[in-house]
Amino acid sequence: MKILVIEDETLLADSLKSLLRKNGFEVDVAYDGETGKAYAELGIYDLIILDVMLPRLDGCEIARSVRARRLGTPILMLTAKSELEDRITGLNAGADYYLPKPFDTRELLACINALLRRQGAQVNELTFGNTSLDLSSAMLICGESRVRLSAKEFDIMRYLLQAEGRIVPKEAILAKVWGYDSDAVENHVEVYIGFLRKKLASIGSNIRIEAIRRLGYRLEVSDLDQKTAPQVHPD
């Protein structure tokens, strides 16, 4: 799971990064609102921890921007403001939960896990064309045929499916799957896209991973007459 922390108090931000990493999360940190907004709009995070009072751009504006892009990423808002009107403003901007400072780290972790459970419980399978991705087993399924994906193959395939046919930039895939601090380059993405194409072909899938020159990748159904929008299946 990948979490974005947007917090301008360096000591707090770094403490959160350390805490979250110790609890098994991948973490990126932005120390100002403009940088945080750019990261958040990539749509590569499973959860965003967002301070309200930020330099350059406040947290409520970032939350509104994320929701305007129809990103369903859970947002946990942190702030020293504890008045009712402030909480209402944050929630109306798109936050899912509002945690006032100072907070107990146990409560913070409980909130994070609750939001991630809620997000993860929404779907257990993603479908496009004649092919499904089982999110619990990392299996690509087409009729009676199936093939298991490696961890990185799974992350890339899920990301492409969640994009619902929109173009996903290579740099966004790199950030999502390998992380900002990784030494991986775009060639790594191309190699794993090649792996996925072979596995899709091996099960008779009609999904095609199309490369859009200088932009990235998107999913298409090879028979245009049968092209369907991705679907999500509730538990």
Question: How confident is the model over 51-108, as pLDDT tens digits?
Answer: 999 998 999 999 999 998 878 889 999 987 767 777 788 889 999 998 988 899 999 9
Over residues 173-209, the pLDDT tens digits come to 888 888 766 777 788 999 999 999 999 999 999 999 9
The amino acid at residue 120 is: G
121: tokens are: 């419980």
One domain for residues 75 and 174: no
One domain for residues 41 and 103: yes
Q: How many angstroms separate the CA atoms of 107 and 114, rounded? A: 10
One domain for residues 92 and 192: no
Over residues 128-143, the pLDDT tens digits come to 999 999 988 899 999 9
One domain for residues 140 and 218: yes
pLDDT at 228: 45
One domain for residues 76 and 104: yes
pLDDT above 90 coverage of the chain, percent: 52
CATH code of the domain containing 14 = 3.40.50.2300
Q: How confident is the model at residue 41 (pLDDT cuts 50, 70, 90)?
A: confident
- pTM (two decimals): 0.63
Residue 227 has pLDDT above 60, yes or no: no
One domain for residues 9 and 107: yes
CATH code of the domain containing 176 = 1.10.10.10
The DSSP bridge partners found for residue 127 are: 132, 231
One domain for residues 69 and 36: yes
One domain for residues 68 and 107: yes
One domain for residues 70 and 150: no
141 and 131 in contact (C-beta within 8 Å)? Answer: yes
What residue numbers bound the domain in which 186 lies? 125-233
Final residue of a domain: which of 99, 120, 141? 120
* 187 backbone dihedrals φ, ψ, rounded to 5°: -60, -30
One domain for residues 67 and 15: yes
For the chain, the domain total comes to: 2
> At a CB cut-off of 8 Å and minimum separation 6, what does 41 contact?
65, 66, 69, 71
One domain for residues 116 and 130: no
